[in-house]
Structure 1
Amino acid sequence: MASTTIPPDDHSRLLGDQNEDGDPPIQTYGTQPEPEDDHHHKNPDSPYLIDATRTKFWFIFGPILLQYFVAMFDSYFMASSHPVITSYFNASNSASWLSTSFMLTSTATQPVFGRLSDTIGRRPVYLTALVGFMVTTAWCAGAQSIGSLIAARALCGIAAGGVLSMAGIMTNDLVKIEVRGTYQAYINLLYGSGAAFGTAFGGALCDTIGWRGAFAIQIPLILFITICAYINVPSNLGPQLAKHSSLTVRQTIQQFDIAGSLLLMLSVALLILGLNLGGNILPWSNPFVIGSLIVSLIAGGVLVWVESKALRPVMPLAMIASPPRSNIVLSNFFSMIGINHILFNAPLYFQAVHSDTPSIAGFRLAIPAVLTTICGVSTGFFLTYTGRLHAPQIAGAISMLSGAVGLSSMPRDVPMWIATALCAPTGIGQGLMFPATTLAVLAISSVEEQAAMTSTLMLWRNLGTVMGVAVSSLVLQNTLVQYLEKYITGPDKQAVIEKVRKSVRAVLELKGETHEQALMAYSDALRWTFISAIGFFVVVNVLIIPVKLPWLRKDRVAANVEEDGEYQD
């Protein structure tokens, strides 16, 4: 398809004539395909990149928002309710696999969905992912064993990866960059509401309709979203390379980085497998554990080489090789590791150490989820009206670090309202930082890079989530074994240790001195888990604070045309 170099208008980043620190702007203007289809906007004053009325736009964008709600409910419901589900199957020491199986497949497949939608269009890929999400959620509701449920979550992750990646990419297709902050605020509202609902009511749903019912109630909503998407999403949304190039669909699909996707999945899967088995189910000296970690490192090295040669890499190394994009992407990666140290283990803290029911533990975690939503929405509007991309990132990074320090410092007999409040800074930090980083990477990327940049940022966030669950589970399970061996006494010591490790609720069934010993073991093990989060948040601050970013303001555009077509400051 023909293309033309354009000035930094509606289709490119609207960067100011100086950055937030008073330095010259960072400008990387790209090229925009000529609008051959009628979905490109006609009205220059419209906030939309498609030719649609406000009503038509919301019939498209509204279900995307609802989809964020359902996806986040599903994710955070699992985070708050996994003690109940794994205790049902007597498999608490396998809890991390319920989340990691989902996030692993979601992480590895999201960029593939993005590339596929570039080739054949957004609509067919989006609809296929939605149908897959609905079917696999039904499987989760009917799973009869922990193995079946983990397999269902893995396949559900593939579908959810497609749904979420398409949501982000389609939003870029629909809304101009200079007002994206406002629509990002809407996304944050539904994203946070789903997270808060899943966190607060996940335990209550398990107590009332059961964990199977909590999966089942998602199915009608997903069906409704699918029907709306089928009716309203334009068939010509996206570049549709197969249609507008001389290549066939088969030829364009052959350009996909299948090797990179498989190597990414293999390296991460084996790393997580080794970390979860080592010291938990098998000793660290076990050949299988050692072999998993070694093969993971080898696969990771091969992945880097493959990605450096790939035509359309699943993990574009150029996008994470130099600042400021490398700082932003990696800060999101380490943030998600730290966040999931806290999010995944706070329910264990409230249930095991303070004997909360799943319902009460869920309601306690609703507070940081609500604050994440409030801060995310506020940050979106702040970005639109001020154009300041850096300040929310710094504030968010500092907030997350302070939360981890607070949780690590509290004594076991701390009042519950304080323990609950100390979970809040992490949610506040996420709400401040993530909307700003999402817009920042788009603002410093050329138009043709933005879809790939969106997928890359989501990829590294999801890698951080996977690693956060795996590493925190590694820390918790290994320290818990040590503290149980240290504190538990009596003739049934080994039986008690095995019972407590398999079911969190088993702690409540213990009596007298043994009960107190188990509480001490869980308390000390969780303290080390929260302490380990501090290190990751320190790295986040080191990455974010020195970054220089441009203004994102419509009224602050500076470009001088050079003969080579580049726009210099």
Structure 2
Amino acid sequence: MTVHAHQRNADNETTPLIGQTCNTCPSPSSRDEEFIPSGIVCEGEDKHCSESGTRDNENIHDSHFIDITPSKFWLIFGCILLSIILCFFDGSILESIHPVISSHFHVANSASWLSTGFLLTCTVFQPVFGQISDIFGRRAPYLASIAIFLISTIWCGAAWNFSSFLTARLICGVGASGVTSLGAIICSDLIHIEHRGIYQSYISLAYGLGNCLGLAFGGLIVDSLGWRAVFVIQLPMICALFLAVYLTLPSGLGPQLARERNITIRKALGTIDIAGSFFLVVGVTALMLGLNLGGNVFPWSHPIVISSLITFCLVSVPFVKTERSSPNPAIPLALLTTAPHANLILANFLAGVSINTILFNAPLFFQAVRLESPTSSGFRLLPVSVGLMVSSLLTGILMAKSRQLKPILLLGVFWLIASCVCSGMLSTNLPDWVAVTLIAMAAFSQGALYPPTMMGVLSTSAQEDQAVITTTLSLLRSLGWVMGVAVSSLVLQNALGAFLRQTVTGPNKADIINRVRKSITEIAHLDATHKSQVIRAYEMALRITFLSSVLWAVLVLMLVIPIKLPRLGHKK
């Protein structure tokens, strides 16, 4: 697989993204009658096929879609949106109810593993699904990922102990990884690049809607029906999704290198970068564990944290060597070293660090500074999801109308910097609506940044490389969010310790500091004097933490300014 750091000189803005010549006409199955592999030119005597191919080539830009009817496309795209809503509903609802589940199994001190485990597998397996879909096509891996998601959801609802539930969540993350990454890849297969921005925004809307539904109804479902019902109610929708994808998704979608090269399944599997994928999974797993646990669950000096980070460093060396020599690398290193791909991917990573520095610590602001309950602070974050949905939609419309990427991307970066600066204004004296608005600004910048970044990477890449590029971008984006948690936690804990030592007074100073650092619920039980002192310390520490996001946002700007991005394809 060759990664094109720049578009080929022969290409222009009206060159079809997929193009090939065949000597015989394809004979799709009845299920695929509405799908014709893009750009195929038939040279046989079959007049019908020849006329069809000519007609498709003449009208290639008359539709948003690549050789598929609008009705068939919307059926497939509807399935993709539903799958994303389900995955993000599942993830967000667990964030709101994991204390209930961990308490049920009497392991409240291990509750963070439920979200960390799901995020871990959901992140590290994305490049693997990208490679598999290039070899066997999109349909089979997509159906398999939905099946994995279905089976693991059943397992979650029936789990008999914490280990069983955690294992189910890890497997569920694998399924969600395939569902989300392949959904984005399939969109790249079916939508012309100049129109893809608006559909990418629809996907971002689905992300936000899934998060909103999970946050809004998680507690209600648990209070009314119990935590197992959270997983049971998802099953009919997942089953319907599997059936809909089975009936609508063409079997001929994607490169299908195994069929094109006429090789056996064993040989096809041999073309997968197994060694690189192994080192990638182990390395990213170790890094995410170290960054998630360090300063959060365990101190940075804990053996688990240290060994995890050392493992990541040790695995990085053979991973780089493997990727350099592999004909089909899991992550082509050219993506991380050549402009504009490297700039955009790294900017995507740093934007994740900056945005999640604000969003991850926002609930702590409401609970420790404003002394609100976890449920109340959760509802405060609903406008954050709304901000993401609105900005995603507006960004998609702007890209579709202007077909410009660089100006929109710069606008998103400047908005990010502004939102980071404004987050430092959060205080106890602000009205509630102002505080929520300042936090929602960060989510708004997320919707303004991610779609043009994705479109920028795809528009400067060949079609055959877009699966691995999409999964690589998603991987680095997820790592950025994890790094946002780790770095902001490090800043917060150090700042909080210093401010508590400065502000808290009295003979019980050490005991009070120890109690409020371990549990923010202890703040409400303090006397009025110590309560105000602790709240002040948390407020100042969070201000330092929020303002630290400005550094990452400025680095994003420095990466974006020098790159040149093409105007999205247009009719001559």
TM-score (norm. length: structure 2): 0.83
Tell whether 2:353 aligns with 1:337. yes
Indicate the RMSD between aligned Cα atoms, in angstroms: 3.4
Tell me, in whole angstroms, the C-alpha distance in 2 between the residues paired with 1:13 and 1:91: 58
| Selected match of 2:174 from 137, 150, 158 | 158
Counterpart residue type for residue 445 of structure 1: S
Larger mean CA deviation between 74-83 and 545-554 belongs to: 74-83
Equivalent residue for 1:411? Answer: 427
Q: What stretches of structure 1 of length at least 5 have no aligned partner?
A: 1-6, 17-26, 557-569
DSSP-derived class of the 1:102 partner: helix
Equivalent residue for 1:527? Answer: 543
Counterpart residue type for residue 13 of structure 2: L
Counterpart residue type for residue 410 of structure 2: I
Larger mean CA deviation between 359-368 and 546-555 belongs to: 359-368
Q: What's the CA shift for 1:412?
A: 3.5
Tell me, in whole angstroms, the C-alpha distance in 2 between the residues paired with 1:458 and 1:49: 23
Q: Deviations over 1:528-554 (max 9, x none)?
A: 332332221121111112221111131
Tell me, in whole angstroms, the C-alpha distance in 1 between the residues paired with 2:104 and 2:526: 18
Q: Is the 8 A contact 1:100 1:469 kept in 2?
A: no
Tell whether 2:103 aligns with 1:105. no
Q: Deviations over 1:318-374 (max 9, x none)?
A: 122111111111111111122222222212221232122334322321222212111
Tell me, in whole angstroms, the C-alpha distance in 2 between the residues paired with 1:373 and 1:183: 13
Tell whether 2:376 aligns with 1:360. yes
Tell me, in whole angstroms, the C-alpha distance in 1 between the residues paired with 2:377 and 2:402: 38
| Selected match of 1:309 from 314, 317, 325 | 325
Q: Is the 8 A contact 2:255 2:464 kept in 1?
A: no
Equivalent residue for 1:47? Answer: 64
Equivalent residue for 1:445? Answer: 461
Tell me, in whole angstroms, the C-alpha distance in 1 between the residues paired with 2:85 and 2:394: 18
Tell me, in whole angstroms, the C-alpha distance in 2 between the residues paired with 1:134 and 1:548: 43
Larger mean CA deviation between 369-378 and 255-264 belongs to: 255-264
Q: Deviations over 1:434-492 (max 9, x none)?
A: 11111111111112222222122112112212222333344445555565666667787
Equivalent residue for 2:13? Answer: 15
In 2 relative to 1, CA 142–424 (structure 1 residues): closer, same or farther, beyond 3 Å? same
Equivalent residue for 2:477? Answer: 461
Larger mean CA deviation between 292-301 and 450-459 belongs to: 292-301
Counterpart residue type for residue 323 of structure 2: E
Tell me, in whole angstroms, the C-alpha distance in 1 between the residues paired with 2:108 and 2:425: 26
Q: Is the 8 A contact 1:103 1:466 kept in 2?
A: no
Q: What's the CA shift for 1:167?
A: 0.3
Within-5 A mapping of 1:228-267: 228-267=244-283
Tell whether 2:133 aligns with 1:121. no
DSSP-derived class of the 1:553 partner: coil
Equivalent residue for 1:135? Answer: 151
Larger mean CA deviation between 38-47 and 451-460 belongs to: 38-47
| Selected match of 1:378 from 385, 394, 406 | 394
Q: Is the 8 A contact 1:13 1:552 kept in 2?
A: no
Equivalent residue for 1:222? Answer: 238
Tell me, in whole angstroms, the C-alpha distance in 2 between the residues paired with 1:544 and 1:425: 20
In 2 relative to 1, CA 376–279 (structure 1 residues): closer, same or farther, beyond 3 Å? closer
DSSP-derived class of the 1:535 partner: helix
Counterpart residue type for residue 65 of structure 2: Y
In 2 relative to 1, CA 93–324 (structure 1 residues): closer, same or farther, beyond 3 Å? farther
In 2 relative to 1, CA 514–258 (structure 1 residues): closer, same or farther, beyond 3 Å? farther
Counterpart residue type for residue 186 of structure 1: Y
Q: Is the 8 A contact 2:122 2:177 kept in 1?
A: yes
DSSP-derived class of the 1:423 partner: helix
Q: What's the CA shift for 1:33?
A: 6.5
Q: What's the CA shift for 1:138?
A: 3.7
Tell me, in whole angstroms, the C-alpha distance in 2 between the residues paired with 1:318 and 1:478: 37
TM-score (norm. length: structure 1): 0.83
Q: Is the 8 A contact 1:13 1:443 kept in 2?
A: no
Q: What's the CA shift for 1:499?
A: 5.7
Equivalent residue for 2:436? Answer: 420
Q: What's the CA shift for 1:221?
A: 2.1
DSSP-derived class of the 2:380 partner: helix
Counterpart residue type for residue 383 of structure 1: M
Q: What stretches of structure 2 of length at least 5 have no aligned partner?
A: 1-6, 29-34, 39-52
Tell me, in whole angstroms, the C-alpha distance in 2 between the residues paired with 1:248 and 1:495: 67
Tell me, in whole angstroms, the C-alpha distance in 2 between the residues paired with 1:155 and 1:84: 21
Q: How many residues align?
A: 536
Q: Is the 8 A contact 1:13 1:29 kept in 2?
A: no
Q: Is the 8 A contact 1:65 1:190 kept in 2?
A: yes
DSSP-derived class of the 1:449 partner: helix
Tell me, in whole angstroms, the C-alpha distance in 2 between the residues paired with 1:214 and 1:323: 45
In 2 relative to 1, CA 376–229 (structure 1 residues): closer, same or farther, beyond 3 Å? same
Within-5 A mapping of 1:23-102: 32=20, 34=22, 36=26, 38=28, 39-40=35-36, 42=53, 43=56, 44=59, 45-52=62-69, 54-79=70-95, 97-102=113-118
| Selected match of 2:417 from 390, 395, 401 | 401
Tell whether 2:188 aligns with 1:190. no
In 2 relative to 1, CA 51–271 (structure 1 residues): closer, same or farther, beyond 3 Å? closer
